[in-house]
Structure 1
């Protein structure tokens, strides 16, 4: 099991015991098919829902674990409407349409399992009435809509190289009066530039970057081997190519990885950090990489830029030179429908992309 999955599985095991027995049974049923990360999101959604039920007096349970099947079975449509309203209008932590849609889908999955799959000792469904079957969940994030939201928030053309250069040099000049920020930058600039460069030249997800080990890197052939999202075969790593531009940053970072961060030989992580007060370097966390990119992006003048938008930036640039099918494989998408976002972003149709690819090969 890769590093991020192991972390999420541990969190899942810790939190699922505070759920009703039928939710625990549902999670066990889903474990072979869904990642711990996805199931952890399910648990968070159920925590929100059960807490709301209790606060509204729709369940007399004293804790989420004590919510009953009868509580779910006797819910009315007005209650579900009320919960959706709660998610969209509460003062703190208001959810986007996409988040609300996902939370409702989590509930639908649970209710479907309880009413259509799970059985009691007499072979009857655990849930006799499924209120969520009446709830229509519209598809929110169509490729065209996603593309519209991303426009103007990605790095384009020369900006890809400029951002990497800014991490190496420009940021230091901007914070020269802040001794603490300057010290941190001097310590980490090669590593940080390397991470940004790798994502901008390969399209890796942040979770894939976090999980990278030294042994996953084949510099000579410009290949990195990663556990890809959706692939449940834990013994197989997918080869992902990176562009020539990343080689220099990788070489430079690798030369200082052990000495700069006092990295012990037992630490296999490619990207390491030296946390305050600690003597040895250890694997960087997902949160640390996300925060690092946001820090540089704000100073660079791209406040909307995130680590995931670096992946989008690569994909848009890559799609301009390749067809949709090659882009899909590079990014590890399950279907070309997800990759269509980049057709809308570049105003280049799929047919044009395929024709260009055919012309280059002839």
Structure 2
């Protein structure tokens, strides 16, 4: 199991203890098909919903794990409407339309399981009446809408190389009067450039970068082996190719990884960081990589650039030279529908992309 999944599995096992027995049963049912990360989001969504039920007096439970099936059965449409309003208008942590849609979808999955799949001892459904079956959840995340939001917020053409060069050299000039920032940059510039270059030359997700081990790299063949999102076979790593540029940047980092980050022999992680007060390097976290990219992006004059937008930057550039199917495979998308974002971001038209799909 990859590193992030291990962390999320531990969190999931802990959080599910605070859920009603029927939610625990649902999570067990879904474990073979969905990742611990996805199921953890489900449980967090149920936590929000059960907290709201109790606050509104729609459940007499003293804590979430005491919410009953009977209390779910008697919910009315007006209750679901009120919950939707609560999600969109609450003062703290207001949810976007996409997040609200996802939270309602999580509930639909649970209610569907309870009413259509799970049975009691007499073979009757656990939930006799499913109010969530009446809720229509419209698709919000359309490729052309996503593309419109990304316009001007990703790196294009020569900017891909310029950003890597800025991390290696330009940033130091911008912080030359800040000794602490300058020291940290001198220590980590090769690592930071290597991470950035790898994403911009392969399209890896940040979670895939975090999970990389030394043994996952084949520099000679410009190939990596990664745990792909959605693949629940814990023994299989997908081969992913990267460009020549990333090979040079990776080699520069690998030459100093051991000496500069003082990695213990048992540490297999590719990308390391030495925490304050520590003497040995440890695997970089997702949050550390995200913060690192944001730091450089602001100074580079691209404040909207994030680590995920580096992936979008690669994908847009890659799609210009390849068809929609090759782009889908390189990015590890489950469907070409997701990949269509890049048809909208380039000069290629959707009709071209669709024709190519028909040919393939």
TM (norm. structure 2) is: 0.97
The unaligned stretches of length 5 or more in structure 1 are 358-362
CA distance in 2, matches of 1:253, 1:327: 27
The answer to whether the 8 Å contact 1:147/1:342 transfers is yes
> 1:349: Cα distance to partner?
2.5
Equivalent pairs, count: 357
What is the CA RMSD across the aligned residues, in angstroms? 1.4
Q: Is the 8 A contact 1:164 1:193 kept in 2?
A: yes
Residue 264 (structure 2) aligns with: 264
Distance 1:354 1:223, change over 3 A: farther
Deviations 1:218-266 (A, max 9, x none): 0000000111111122221111000001111101100111111111111
CA distance in 2, matches of 1:356, 1:172: 45
CA shift digits 1:55-84 (9 cap, x unpaired) = 111111111111111111111111111111
| 1:102-113 equivalent positions in 2, closer than 5 A | 102-113=102-113
1:352 offset after TM fit, Å?
A: 3.9
Instruction: Tell me the residue number matched to 1:347.
Output: 347
Match of 1:192 in 2: 192
Aligned to 1:330: 330
Distance 1:75 1:353, change over 3 A: closer
Q: Is the CA contact 2:214–2:269 (under 8 Å) kept in the aligned structure 1?
A: yes
CA distance in 1, matches of 2:295, 2:83: 36
Deviation at 1:54, TM superposition (A): 1.0
Verify: 1:235 aligned to 2:227, yes or no: no
Where does residue 87 of structure 1 map in the other structure? Answer: 87
Shift of 1:268: 0.5
Runs (4+) off by over 2 Å: 349-357
Gaps of at least 5 residues in structure 2 are: none
Aligned twin of 1:214: 214
Other-structure match for 1:360 = none
TM-score, normalised to structure 1, is 0.96
Partner of 1:57: 57
CA contact (8 A) 1:323 1:354 kept: no
Distance (whole Å) between structure 2 residues aligned to residue 196 and residue 289 of structure 1: 9
Match of 1:163 in 2: 163
Verify the 8 A CA contact 1:323 1:350 in the aligned structure 2: no
- Does residue 273 (structure 1) correspond to residue 268 (structure 2)? The answer is no
Q: What is residue 134 of structure 2 aligned with on the other side?
A: 134
Q: Distance in 2 between matches of 1:276 and 1:47?
A: 35
Instruction: Please identify, of 339-348 and 176-185, the stretch whose mean Cα deviation from structure 2 is larger.
Output: 176-185
